[in-house]
Structure 1
Amino acid sequence: MILSPGRPESDPSWGQTDTVTLLDTFNVQCGSVPAELDDGNGKARSVHMPALSREEKRRKRRATARYRSAHATRERVRVVAFNVAFAELRQLLPTLPPDKKLSKIEILRLAICYISYLNHVLDV
């Protein structure tokens, strides 16, 4: 947070849970980066921290515990949906014995063969 001479100092965002953001705010307010520079004319000008690149912002966001937790939850939901889809496909494929356990690649290969067979039956 960079302050200009005419603006009152505002309170930092204490409600934030992201410690990296709080530390960045603290560093700027405590003078690790000068808030003003003299431009030679006796007037003060603000110094802005360089903007973060898109990749740096992405890395910073992904470093938070909340993001990792949400990502892990999304991944678990995705894997469950993926497994349900394979189970449904497996139910549609004819095999002997019908309850034989097949790997995912075996299910896909069997589905390809079964679709080819059905196309052949329709063509005849």
Structure 2
Amino acid sequence: MMLSPEQPEHDLPWGQPGPQTFLDTVDVQSGSMPGELVHGEGKARSAHVPVLSREEKRRRRRATAKYRSAHASRERIRVVAFNVAFAELRKLLPTLPPDKKLSKIEILRLAICYISYLNHVLDL
């Protein structure tokens, strides 16, 4: 193929597309080219899908019934383990009467006093 002075450059097979046609093909929201894969999903993201932040995704996931149910189950297990630990600590502390019901804060305060007493005994 010979170039002639009257042949416009855009008719050539290697001619560059104009800036408008190039910008029209780029997805401005995601910064990807046409047909380019985004996030490995196997499909290009459309400009109509809002991009969610990490916090928004977390909120949506936590709003599901399945997540709330699983969270409630984990919390019940945690509370049971916590209460068992307090019961075991309570058994190690001397009180009169021995079967007296104590609150959690009373158990902790009594444990602090008992540990201080044992340290004092060891120092003598």
What RMSD, in angstroms, separates the aligned Cα atoms of the two structures?
1.8
Q: Name which of 32, 35, 40 aligns with 2:20.
A: 40
Alignment correspondent of 1:122:
122
**Which aligned segments of 4 or more residues in structure 1 are displaced greater than 3 angstroms?**
42-50
Question: Normalising to structure 2: TM-score of the pair?
Answer: 0.64
Equivalent-residue separation in structure 2 for 1:51 and 1:89 (angstroms):
51
* Distance of 2:93 and 2:86 partners within structure 1: 11
Distance 1:86 1:73 in 2: 20
Q: How many residues align?
A: 86
Structure 2 residues without counterparts, runs of 5 or longer: 1-18, 28-45
TM-score (norm 1): 0.64
**Structure 2 equivalent of residue 99 of structure 1:** 99
Identity %: 79
Shift of 1:51: 2.4
Q: More strand per residue: 1 or 2?
A: 1
1:64 matched to which residue of 2?
64
More RCO (CA 8 Å, sep 6+): 1
Q: What is residue 55 of structure 2 aligned with on the other side?
A: 55
1:112 maps to 2:109: no
Please give the per-residue CA displacement for 1:33-78, whole angstroms capped at 9, x wherever unaligned: xxxxxx8317544444342111111101100000000000000000
Long gaps (5+) in structure 1: 1-38
Q: SS at 1:40's partner residue?
A: helix
CA-CA distance at 1:79 after TM superposition:
0.3
Instruction: Give the whole-Å Cα distance in 1 for the aligned partners of 2:69 and 2:102.
Output: 32
The separation in 1 between residues aligned to 2:58 and 2:93, in whole angstroms, is 43
* Cross-structure match for 2:82: 82
